[in-house]
Amino acid sequence: MRIAMIGTGYVGLVSGACFSDFGHQVVCVDKDADKIAALRDGVMPIYEPGLEGLVEHNVGGGRLSFTTDLAEAVDGVDAVFIAVGTPSRRGDGHADLSYVYAAAREIATALTGPAVVVTKSTVPVGTGDEVERLIRETAPDAEVSVASNPEFLREGAAIADFKHPDRIVVGVEDDHARDVLEAIYRPLNLNKAPLLFTTRRTAEVIKYAANAFLATKITFINEMADLCEEVGADVQSVSRGIGLDNRIGPKFLHAGPGYGGSCFPKDTLALLKTAEDAQVPLRIVESVVKVNDARKRAMGRKVVKAMNGDVRGKTVALLGLTFKPNTDDMRDSPAISIVQALQDEGAKIRAYDPEGTEQAKLVLENVDFCDDPYTAADGADALVIVTEWDQFRALDLKRVTDILNQPVLVDLRNIYSADEANQAGLRYTGIGQPKKAV
């Protein structure tokens, strides 16, 4: 199949590279000429494990190319995927659809033959209808079908997620779109990936419902963690105890400093706006958003408490700044609220992140960025693990104790146990652990 991918952000680039790896002919388009020039030189705009090699392999094989020329890219294709950004609209939390609609108009002008236009960007229910209306308005004679194919990729595991999806959701309104998308995803038949066909509106709702449910699951266990701390229970055992129930499942039950990233915060807000417009209050999702926002800042207070209530003039070393490991993405990372809360209390912040430093510098002020975990810890009054990068999982805790000014370890991801930290001479605070173990 011949495919054009509009937008070389996270979703577009990963999807385009993976489609080409299946053997499809893919042209990725972006308005940003510098980005396209860099991609042509093999330089990735984001950090994602395995992406660079995948792009290189498929560019080398003549299946993947990059251009700023949308008209050239869509000429003669079977499908055009719209994978441009849908950020939160400034001020009201609605998804900003201006890039999606601009792309739809441009595609309409450029199409030369019959094609399926597929929205991959995360878009509120009804956007597919509007994309179709815009295309028909711009090019009344164009033979187009408009479909919805939301993505469920996790940053840091995006390529594996794309190639081994739990399911592929496709919303179509006609048989042609169904046939084309079936052909595009045929290579995944081998992996027995379920291909779920539904209507366009339903597909759009599935995407938001999935993210809202996952955000709810995380927030649920985070509140349980708070309860565990007060009543002398251990949240990790609670997660295991409930997660082994097949109806609940063990995933997304890891208590932590609150969810962040490019999807959950933005998509939950956008879903609430859709619900408000439809006059159907989603009270559970409303609570999830509030609880998660409050939690991120509360993590700063947790650190202050672990340092006996006073951090003025003291140095706090943070390990991990990105919203999760294996990405350089700082969007809505809990680290941002934690740094702010600690600075408001007068603390000095040092930090180390394996991949996120450049992005972190754009959003964090007055932070002393270090080159490795031990330099960050050296002479600090507390060490705080914010993101569970693998390289933090086997720190030499005795060495950490020796170089810290005060032996305080706050582990917001529960990657250590209180026992092993105590044995190394550290005062340990985790998430959702009984107070006596601290």
**What residues contact residue 136 under an 8 Å CB cut-off, 6+ apart?**
108, 142, 144
* Collapsed DSSP state (helix, strand, coil) of residue 382: strand
Q: Does 218 help bind ligand UDX (rule: CB under 6 A)?
A: yes
Q: Does 99 help bind ligand UDX (rule: CB under 6 A)?
A: no
Q: Does 220 help bind ligand UDX (rule: CB under 6 A)?
A: no
- Interface residue with ligand UDX among 12, 260, 354, 432 (CB under 6 A) is 260
DSSP letter for each residue of 26-67: EEEE-S-HHHHHHHHTT--SS--TTHHHHHHHHHHTTSEEEE
Distance CA 150, CA 171 (A): 9
Q: Does 135 help bind ligand UDX (rule: CB under 6 A)?
A: no
Residue 64 sits at φ, ψ, to 5 deg, of -130, 130
Q: Does 168 help bind ligand UDX (rule: CB under 6 A)?
A: no
Q: Among 35, 122, 114, which Cα is nearest to 74's?
A: 114
**What residues contact residue 417 under an 8 Å CB cut-off, 6+ apart?**
430
Q: Does 163 help bind ligand UDX (rule: CB under 6 A)?
A: no
The residue count of the chain comes to: 438
Q: Does 299 help bind ligand UDX (rule: CB under 6 A)?
A: no
Q: Does 169 help bind ligand UDX (rule: CB under 6 A)?
A: no
**Which one of 90-98, 260-268, 292-300, 425-433 is the stretch in contact with ligand UDX (CB under 6 A)?**
260-268
* Collapsed DSSP state (helix, strand, coil) of residue 273: helix
Q: Closer to ligand UDX at the Cβ: 169 or 382?
A: 169
Q: Does 152 help bind ligand UDX (rule: CB under 6 A)?
A: yes
Q: Does 296 help bind ligand UDX (rule: CB under 6 A)?
A: no
Q: Does 392 help bind ligand UDX (rule: CB under 6 A)?
A: no
Distances (CA, A) of 23 to 1, 17, 168, 328: 8, 10, 18, 29
CB of 188 to ligand UDX, least distance (A): 17
Q: Does 155 help bind ligand UDX (rule: CB under 6 A)?
A: yes
Distance CA 26, CA 6 (A): 11
Q: Does 10 help bind ligand UDX (rule: CB under 6 A)?
A: no
**Which one of 250-258, 271-279, 294-302, 374-382 is the stretch in contact with ligand UDX (CB under 6 A)?**
250-258
Q: What type of residue sits at position 52?
A: E
Q: Does 204 help bind ligand UDX (rule: CB under 6 A)?
A: no
The catalytic position among 18, 28, 228, 263 is 263
* Alpha-helix runs per DSSP H in 27-186: 33-40, 51-60, 70-74, 98-110, 127-138, 158-163, 175-185
Residue 166 sits at φ, ψ, to 5 deg, of -65, -35
Q: Does 151 help bind ligand UDX (rule: CB under 6 A)?
A: yes
DSSP designation for 247: T
- Interface residue with ligand UDX among 63, 254, 296, 427 (CB under 6 A) is 254
CB of 253 to ligand UDX, least distance (A): 6
Does residue 263 carry a catalytic annotation? Answer: yes
Q: Closer to ligand UDX at the Cβ: 207 or 314?
A: 207
Q: Does 256 help bind ligand UDX (rule: CB under 6 A)?
A: yes
CB of 133 to ligand UDX, least distance (A): 27
Q: Which residue's CB atom is positioned nearest to ligand UDX?
A: 263
CB of 66 to ligand UDX, least distance (A): 23
Distance CA 256, CA 218 (A): 8
- Interface residue with ligand UDX among 264, 389, 392, 428 (CB under 6 A) is 264
- Interface residue with ligand UDX among 165, 261, 373, 430 (CB under 6 A) is 261
- β-pair type (315-319, 382-385): parallel
Q: Closer to ligand UDX at the Cβ: 170 or 307?
A: 170
Q: Does 328 help bind ligand UDX (rule: CB under 6 A)?
A: no
Distance CA 113, CA 364 (A): 48
* Collapsed DSSP state (helix, strand, coil) of residue 179: helix
Kindly list the residues in this chain that would bind ligand UDX in the complex (CB under 6 A). 151-155, 211, 214, 218, 252-254, 256, 259-264, 323-324
- Tell me the catalytic residues: 263
